[in-house]
Structure 1
Amino acid sequence: MDHLDRTLLKLLQEDGRMTVSELSKKLALSRPSVSERLLRLQEKGAITGFAARVSPAALGRNIQVIIQISELKVSPSDFDKRIVLDSDILECHRVTGTVSYILKAAVTGMDALSLLVERLMPFGNVNTSVILSSPVMNPVVLPKE
């Protein structure tokens, strides 16, 4: 991955709606060259997709929480199948250590949080932490040089 690829990744992470023409101007490359680089980065798996970043709070989900699930009572594959169906879950990570899973969820209020915890209790021990602020969100990720 060369300097132009790293710059391309940086630009797209800062503004995913940037057109090939705009990228072409910023990189001083032809549009076909930029398109070729984009395709190559997608084929390599460096770019996995393009999506809008949506604010859960703007959609009425004012409470965001981190949930730790420990002492799993079902198999990880059973838990994985169940958790992908829960619309309150924003992220799910299977991790090492005493905790089996770390989840990020967004709910409309304390009643919704209580219901989410009740839904999760059959799968293991549930520990929740309300997110007060997020000083780092969606940082630009680039390969180490």
Structure 2
Amino acid sequence: MDELDSKLLELLQSEGRMTISELSKKMSLSRPSVSERLYRLQEEGIIDGFTARVFPEAVGRSVVVFVQISDLKAGCREFEQVVEDIPDILECHRVTGTASYFMKAAVANMESLGLFVDKLTPYGRVNTSIVLSSPIRYRCVLPNDDKSDT
């Protein structure tokens, strides 16, 4: 990956609807060159897809919560199949440490949060943290320039 690839990633993450022509102008590259780079980044699995970022509050999910599941009472695969079918869960990560999983979820209200927690309780100890504010909602992910980390 070179500086042009990094710039392309930055532009796309800041405005995913940017056309090839717009990208071409901003990068001072030909459209075929931008298209080729974009295709290569997708083929290499660096770009995972193109989506819209939706703020949960804007669609009636005003309670955003981080959930830790520890003392898992089911196998990992079984638990992952269960959470796959819960649409309130926005992210799910298997982690090291005292918790087995960290999840981010968005529900409509406190009653919905109670019902959500009730779905998870049979699978382990549930610890929730309600989001009060999000000073950084999204940040572009770019290659690490610090050569000492490699």
TM-score norm. by structure 2 comes to 0.95
Task: For residue 38 of structure 2, give the secondary structure of its aligned residue in structure 1.
Answer: helix
Report what 2:28 is aligned to. Answer: 28
1:49 aligns with 2:75: no
Structure 1, residues 70-103: CA drift from partner, whole Å, max 9, x if none?
0000000000001010011111010000100001
Residue 135 of structure 1, CA deviation: 1.4
Report what 1:98 is aligned to. Answer: 98
Write the letter of the residue equivalent to 2:41. Answer: L
Q: How does 1:1-145 map to 2 (within 5 A)?
A: 1-145=1-145
Task: For residue 66 of structure 2, give the secondary structure of its aligned residue in structure 1.
Answer: strand
Write the letter of the residue equivalent to 1:63. Answer: V
* Structure 1: gaps spanning 5 or more residues: none
Residue 141 of structure 1, CA deviation: 1.1
In 1, Cα distance between the equivalents of 2:144 and 2:52?
26
Write the letter of the residue equivalent to 1:66. Answer: F
In 2, Cα distance between the equivalents of 1:113 and 1:73?
21
In 2, Cα distance between the equivalents of 1:144 and 1:110?
40
Residue 55 of structure 1, CA deviation: 1.2
Residue 137 of structure 1, CA deviation: 2.1
In 2, Cα distance between the equivalents of 1:62 and 1:113?
11
In 1, Cα distance between the equivalents of 2:114 and 2:139?
31
In 1, Cα distance between the equivalents of 2:42 and 2:126?
37
Write the letter of the residue equivalent to 2:26. Answer: K
Residue 15 of structure 1, CA deviation: 0.3
**Segments of 4+ moved more than 2 angstroms:** none
Kindly report the root-mean-square deviation, in angstroms, between the aligned alpha carbons of the 2 structures: 0.7
In 2, Cα distance between the equivalents of 1:66 and 1:141?
21
Write the letter of the residue equivalent to 1:42. Answer: Q
